[in-house]
Structure 1
Amino acid sequence: MNSYYEELCHVVFQKHGIDVQHKYTYQNHSLEVKEYLLVVSTRDKKKWILYALEKCETKEQVLFFLRGAITRIIVETLKRTPEYYGSYKDKLIKEIS
């Protein structure tokens, strides 16, 4: 793990008390928050995501932000958008209906 990942995890899981196993599902595909943070920690060189998360004052605001970001990632990964597909294709979980 890298230090940026640890910073992101601190804000999400420790400061706001979000469950480490929390995930979002869209069209029978899910992505765990911790997997999202891991990819962000390697791609977000300017730490914009950390900045946005630190501006959230409540757990509900963090969950709202994460739901929007992760849902968008799932949509773009399923569409095979290059910016997302390479980073997230192996991290999406197909849910059994």
Structure 2
Amino acid sequence: MRKIFEVIGAIVTVILGLVVAIPVLLAVIGVAVPAILIFVAAIFLIVLLALAICGVVALMTFWRMRYQLKHGGGVDFVFNGKRYHVETISKRHPNNRRDVTDDV
């Protein structure tokens, strides 16, 4: 008989615990999920802004190179450890560029 009352007491305790715990869990999940989503959205926004800034810098760099080439100036750049000089008027070198790494 004592065992039956212990089992009934355990079942009632579990039911009361669930009655209390379920609303608490729902409230925590209800608050936590939007907070996590806001955090993830903020991270994505920061990454997107960084990519946008990098894109603007790249566009400005390419625009400046094109402007320099269009107006007769050459463009110097480094690729794979070698310095190159690009000119649109030079036809002696392939792709209008030459390696100027060893030039003084």
User: TM-score under structure 2 normalisation?
Assistant: 0.27
- Report 1 or 2 for greater relative contact order, CA contacts < 8 Å, sequence distance ≥ 6: 1
Higher helix share: 2
Higher CA-based Rg: 2
What TM-score, normalized by structure 1, do the two folds share? 0.29
